A = this chain, B = another copy of it.
Amino acid sequence: MKAVVLLSGGLDSATTLALAKEQGDTCYALSFNYGQRHSAELNAAKNVAQSMNVTEHKIINLDLTQIGGSALTDKNIAVPQAPSEGIPITYVPARNTIFLSYALAWSEVLGINDIFIGVNAVDYSGYPDCRPEYIAAFENMARLATKSGVEGHPFRIRTPLIHLSKAEIIRKGTELGVDYSLTVSCYQADEHGHACGMCDSCRFRKEGFSAAGIPDPTIYI
């Protein structure tokens, strides 16, 4: 079976790719150069894609800084160094919807019906577009949006990590041979992919390795 896998270069999407491959899927990886704060993430995506022998790795250019509204797409907004109440300022408006829409378009052109995304609703920042109910609604919309859906070949949005803790994700990925030293999770990594250790994303990652009892290969600034 074939699948399109969204690949950010972070820990979760690398594990998702490993899980898709474990199920025997021929994988097409999709990443976005969307104006994120650093390029280390995209370099990580390229390295992960290569290490897992994907069939094709497409990087789409799209400039979300034209829209802004988030610490990740507007350099005038600082990345918080401590947890906050509610949905944090690192939330990027409609980001997963935009990413999944491109994945949907590419899948339809490739004749593929399975789209993997590494969203997680356990150890996460409370982003609305990581929740199961959102994914179900996207899947329903995708069925109605597309020629494939209308012709009886609906898309499945597959979220193998959605109910796992970060420690469970790391244990599973380690079993499957994911090289987490290639991945970058930090919202403000430097050009070498070294991590700040303080942002939400670093915190979830660090606590995950600790709880999994697996050495953390991350290099901190």
Spell out A's residues near B (CB within 8 Å). 58, 60-64, 66-69, 87, 91-98, 101-102, 104-106, 108-109, 128-129, 131, 133-134, 137-138, 140-147, 149-150
Known contacts A105-B98, A147-B87; is A61 also within 8 Å of B64 by CB? no
Q: Considering the chains assembled together, what is the distance between the CA atoms of A96 and B104 in angstroms? A: 11
State whether A69 touches B109 (Cβ < 8 A): yes
State whether A63 touches B61 (Cβ < 8 A): yes
Q: Considering the chains assembled together, what is the distance between the CA atoms of A138 and B94 in angstroms? A: 12
Instruction: Identify which of B97, B102, B146 contacts A104 (C-beta below 8 A).
Output: B97
Instruction: Identify which of B62, B67, B95, B101 contacts A94 (C-beta below 8 A).
Output: B101
State whether B97 touches A145 (Cβ < 8 A): yes
State whether B97 touches A142 (Cβ < 8 A): yes
Using CB atoms, name the residue of chain B closest to A138.
B141
Give the chain B neighbours of A95 by CB distance below 8 A.
Answer: 105
Give the chain B neighbours of A102 by CB distance below 8 A.
Answer: 67, 94, 98
Number of copies: 2
What's the nearest-Cβ distance from chain B to residue A187, in Å?
Answer: 17
State whether A150 touches B87 (Cβ < 8 A): yes
Q: Considering the chains assembled together, what is the distance between the CA atoms of A74 and B47 in angstroms? A: 30
Give the chain B neighbours of A137 by CB distance below 8 A.
Answer: 137, 140-141, 143-145
State whether A93 touches B109 (Cβ < 8 A): yes
Q: Considering the chains assembled together, what is the distance between the CA atoms of A105 and B109 in angstroms? A: 25
Instruction: Identify which of B66, B106, B134 contacts A145 (C-beta below 8 A).
Output: B134
State whether B64 touches A105 (Cβ < 8 A): yes
Interface centre among A105, A133, A134 (most CB of B within 10 A): A105
What's the nearest-Cβ distance from chain B to residue A198, in Å?
Answer: 23
State whether A58 touches B66 (Cβ < 8 A): yes
State whether B141 touches A91 (Cβ < 8 A): no
Using CB atoms, name the residue of chain B closest to A103.
B94
Using CB atoms, name the residue of chain B closest to A155.
B94
Give the chain B neighbours of A143 by CB distance below 8 A.
Answer: 137
